[in-house]
Structure 1
Amino acid sequence: MPSTTFAPMPNAEGYFGPYGGQLVPPHLKQAMDDIASAYAQITQREDFQQELAQLFADYVGRPSPIFHARRLSAQLGGAQIHLKREDLNHTGAHKINHCLGEALLARFMGKKKVIAETGAGQHGVALATACALVGIPCEIHMGQVDIEKEHPNVTKMRILGCKLVAVTRGAATLKEAVDSAFEEYLHNPTDYLYAIGSVVGPHPFPMMVRDFQSIVGREARAQFLEKHGRLPDHVAACVGGGSNAMGIFTAFLDDASVHLVGVEPSGEGTDKPGRHAATLTMGKPGAIHGMACYVLENADGEPAAVHSIASGLDYPGVGPQHSYLKDIGRVDYQAASDAECLEAFMALSRVEGIIPALESAHAVAWAMRTAPGLPADQHILVNLSGRGDKDADFVAQRLGL
């Protein structure tokens, strides 16, 4: 796969500066190395590249367009807001980009089952879709709280034929789903592939998921240049684990003129421990799920309870490359609250006729907050990472619609 990374990242051990690596038991390290080796092999094969490119075009519907949100921009005043429409992909989000790659890798390795976690359900739906396409059994672990909140995606996963495992321990959200899926994977790492849903986990997953998602940024950069003869001034994306953000940021990392903004969930307030998931804003370097990264920890040094109105951002860790990009100052990590997210969700729906995922609405909220203070000739490009069908009933109930 063509390299569009910012410097040679990660290194051979899977580190982005001090973050990343393979913080796993020895027997699992061999399984991770086998995946890394198979990934290196498959990405050099022309037949793989052609099959993935054809699926992106004919199955996913790529390239996704960039839409100028003219009415929203006019109402806000200031900078122009543009949306990279990943919500128009088959399955409704950016997740299908790496899920197709992971399913093809599982087939290449002769795996007998693909296992994954999901929060908002978008990764679960995308992986169930990709596994149905290539004919591999799929098992998805999902927190019980998220199952009840994201019922439309749960129904889709079941229709697509995956085995859905409800996780009831702890907070019963994304972290617990990751723990549960990882435990199942450990039963048989030889025959199973754990298809991680973001740029997190042990090497090679942060690299691999980023590479599959980098098509978003490559398209966006070329599209914006072609249409406007220049690059956007700001590129914004929501950050939980960080896959959609790394997907679009990667193509712009070497463009010093482009302000890159990762928008985390401040939930009910970063001053309220356990009621936000702003890992890069409020966390510190630590380790979780086989990687070194920024982590929100409690007083005992364990991953803290977290909260976001968006199930896909409800995670106490973050991708190791994001952690590195924060430290070197290349990406500006900010936060948006539940209230701002809901306001952005409704504004985009009623002003532009686009219902965004609650995750993506965090990035829209940052754009809405920022645009009025910028000159009218500046351009903000938001990665609209998913559509809000899954969230519509929840939002309607929350707002009494």
Structure 2
Amino acid sequence: MQKDRLYLDSFPDERGYFGKFGGSFIPPQLVEPFNEINEAYKKLSKDFNFLNELKSIRKYYQGRPTPVYFAKNLSNFAGANIYLKREDLNHTGAHKLNHCMAEALLAKYLGKKKLIAETGAGQHGVALATAAAYFGLECEIHMGEVDIKKEHPNVVKMKILGAKVVPVSKGLKTLKEAVDSAFESYLNDTKNSLFAIGSVVGPHPFPKMIRDFQSVVGFEAKEQFFEMTGKLPDVVAACIGGGSNAMGIFSGFIEDSVDLYAVEPAGKGEKIGEHSASITYGKEGVMHGFNSIMLSDENGEPAPVHSIASGIDYPSVGPEHAYLSSIGRTKVALCSDTEAIEAFYTLSRLEGIIPALESSHAVGFAIKYAKSEENFGKSILINLSGRGDKDIDFVIENFPENL
């Protein structure tokens, strides 16, 4: 296990940089609150009581460890051995609860009374509302009006759990604008609130902190896969928007001779506004307090983006993903809207598992990768980051022909 942690202990540096990516580009009034979070995390990440409470929550409340499952029917269909890390079986139906329970626990130790966050697909919002209910905290979730319509079941869940859902009507009314709105709300009450960022993005220490909280996925998966097969997978793949589920599973294999594929949403075309493939088409830039690779317009502003999956339609990517891609440690693949929908139905019908549209991008990649002749018989481990309950109304309404 020590070998696994060499990279994780070295990156980011003290200022929150992964190479040239990361850092903290925030207004003066946020410097002190973010320093407070950073210092608290450095202390609590080594505190027995904090770690023991988080371990207990994961086991007895979240239902961890989630299993690794060999998808036999999908494997026979595609021509390679495809395994799924079943984060869809995590309580609330996605990997998001891994960091949300930890962020809420951090808020508790800091004496905060309220959690504020953004959400796209609603999985982070549901998870944070769940964590707030568990710890007796207030919860305020900012969500674009477009995503509110697409992800209605998750909006209802957040409200049932006691969260206040704030509709965002600015700009494209999706994830980027939800982050903007949540930041503005947090600025009004940093003393009593914690901004619980929902991915490996944002100013330092959030890219590191969320990665560390999500790394449980990778370390579980590595041990489980080796127990099942006696070896490591040839490929580990995950969808990527901000990239929390991908960094979670990559963390367990980052020191090993395993190909890591970050699967970006290719959407419906290569033009600006038709995709959310930040690493593939983007360039270096600062947004939401961190330096990374982002999709920008002719004025250097964040560009319009599109994906069928609300959780990954974001015009940038976590700084660690930008760094790992820049040094060649990770490979970037693309999955279009059409391929994701096909994968959504294929996994559902072959394995009886309805995946989230975000996760369907990783499944779509795996099917495409497996069908290539040179990859016949290889083993592919996918982070199935969420279940598709939230997406079924949208899919049936917009893609009835697939039925």
Same structural fold, with TM-score higher than 0.5 when normalized by the shorter chain? yes
Deviations 1:205-224 (A, max 9, x none): 00000000000000000011
Residue 357 of structure 1 contacts residue 388 of structure 1 at CA under 8 Å; is this kept in 2?
yes
CA deviation after TM superposition for structure 1 residue 227, in Å: 1.1
Equivalences for residues 241-252 of structure 1 within 5 A: 241-252=242-253
Instruction: Give distance in 1, aligned partners of 2:283 and 2:254.
Output: 23
What residue identity is the alignment partner of 1:65?
P
Query: Aligned equivalents of 1:210 and 1:181: distance in 2?
Result: 21
CA distance in 2, matches of 1:207, 1:301: 26
Using the alignment, how far apart are the partners of 2:142 and 2:332 within structure 1? 29
Q: Distance in 1 between matches of 2:191 and 2:44?
A: 18
User: Structure 2 residue aligned with 1:67, among 66, 69, 87?
Assistant: 69
1:19-98 aligned within 5 A: 19-77=21-79, 79-98=80-99
Residues 194-209 of structure 1 aligned to structure 2 (within 5 Å): 194-209=195-210
- Aligned CA-pair RMSD: 1.3
Q: Single out whichever of 324-333 and 7-16 deviates more from structure 2.
A: 7-16
The Cα offsets for residues 308-329 of structure 1, whole Å up to 9 and x where unpaired, read as 0000001001100000001000
* Corresponding residue of 2:16: 14
> CA offsets per residue over residues 29-58 of structure 1, 9 Å max, x none?
121111000111112211111111111111
> Number of aligned pairs?
398
Match of 1:147 in 2: 148
Secondary structure of the residue aligned to 2:170 is: coil
Identity of counterpart residues, as a percentage?
Answer: 59
Q: Distance in 2 between matches of 1:158 and 1:333?
A: 37
Structure 2 letter corresponding to 1:35? I
- Tell me, in whole angstroms, the C-alpha distance in 1 between the residues paired with 2:217 and 2:387: 16
Amino acid of the structure 2 residue aligned with 1:14:
G
Amino acid of the structure 2 residue aligned with 1:157? M
Match of 2:314 in 1: 315
Q: TM-score, normalised by structure 2?
A: 0.97
User: 1:287-320: CA deviations, max 9, x gaps?
Assistant: 1000000010001110000000000001001100
TM-score (norm 1): 0.97
Provide the C-alpha distance between the structure 1 equivalents of 2:55 and 2:187, rounded to a whole number of angstroms: 32
Q: Distance in 2 between matches of 1:372 and 1:345?
A: 17
Deviation digits for residues 341-392 of structure 1 (CA, Å, limit 9, x no counterpart): 0000000001110000000000000000011224544200000000000001
Paired with 1:395 and 1:217, the residues of 2 have a C-alpha distance of 30
3-state DSSP of counterpart to 1:185 = helix
Which residue of structure 1 aligns with residue 330 of structure 2? 331
Distance in structure 1 (CA, Å) of the matches to 2:74 and 2:97: 28
Where does structure 2 lack aligned partners over 5 or more consecutive residues? none
Q: Which residue of 2 aligns with 1:222?
A: 223
Alignment pair present for 1:391 and 2:383: no
Q: Does 1:350 find its partner at 2:352?
A: no
Tell me, yes or no, if the aligned pair for 2:369 and 2:375 is still in contact at 8 Å: no
Counterpart residue number, 1:164 = 165
Query: Take 1:18 and 1:67, find their aligned partners in 2: how far apart are those partners?
Result: 37
Q: Which runs of 4+ in 1 moved over 6 A?
A: none
In 2, Cα distance between the equivalents of 1:375 and 1:192?
49
**Matching residue of 1:137:** 138
